[in-house]
Amino acid sequence: MKNVTITLDEGVAARVRVQAAVHGKSMSKFISDLLEREIGREDNKTDREAIEEFLRGPLWPLTDENGRWPSREDIYGERVNELLRRYERSRTHDR
């Protein structure tokens, strides 16, 4: 990623700032996306083609070697235990 400095008319800059906010992007990302759309990507893919390629990409193996899906405990157990440890630790520090 290359940083560049551009000069904009104050009115244009204000409109860009508003549009970037409307789209939930920084001005830099908003302008970068506009330029990419205008001149194309280096790989000449459209947004749709890039998304379709991503979705075709390798899938994550969600089942184990026996074809079983993980249980809720397998998925969330470690996180729940960590949250409980933090809660207990905070209670001992508050006393």
pLDDT digits (tens, 9 = 90+) for 23-40: 999 999 999 988 888 776
For residue 11, count CB atoms less than 10 angstroms from its CB and return exposed for 0-12, middle for 13-18, buried for 19 or more. Answer: exposed
pLDDT at 94 over 70: no
Alpha carbon distances (Å) from 75 to 70, 80, 86: 7, 10, 19
Predicted local distance difference test score (pLDDT) of residue 95: 61
Predicted local distance difference test score (pLDDT) of residue 23: 94
Inter-residue contact 89 to 83 (CB < 8 Å): no
pTM for the model stands at 0.44
Q: Which residue has the tokens 């302008």?
A: 31
Cα–Cα distance between 43 and 38 in angstroms, integer? 14
